[in-house]
Amino acid sequence: MASIKLTDDVIRVPKLDVSGTNWVLYKERLTWAADAKGLAGHLDGAVQEPNAPPSPATLASVTQTAPATGATTAAAGATITPAMTPDPAQVAYEAELATWKKGEAIVKQLIASTIPDSLFMKVRSKGTARDIW
């Protein structure tokens, strides 16, 4: 199956009128445009920022592991190994966070580029695309 790339030429949402008279059409078209990019969940909050995994230091203080060969014990009783490998949970979280941030940025830009400047000034400090929407 051939992949379909949706370019900016295909995804054009008319600007929201300052008076808001075209809100119904604007809302539907912007929702469709976000959905076409697989990002509609950022508008309604269905896609949330991923939660960070517990830090290794937090886990170490809770676990209180015993010393192992090739490891030293810290004053607090946590085991520190000489060669720390990246935590797979942290790596996965960072990848999920990067994907979420990119989706947020795309949807925020989609909204920002289609609303009047006066409205943009009111919503620009909102944290998420859902908050802006």
- CA separation for the pair 36, 121 (Å, rounded): 27
Domain locations along the chain: 15-47+110-133
pLDDT on residue 100: 96
The rounded mean pLDDT for the chain is 82
Confidence of residue 9 (pLDDT cuts 50, 70, 90): very low
DSSP character string of 12-78: --PPPPTT-TTHHHHHHHHHHHHHHTT-THHHHT-S-PPPPPPPHHHHHHHH-PPP-TT-EE-TTS-
Give residue-wise pLDDT tens across range 56-84. Answer: 665 555 555 555 555 555 555 666 555 57
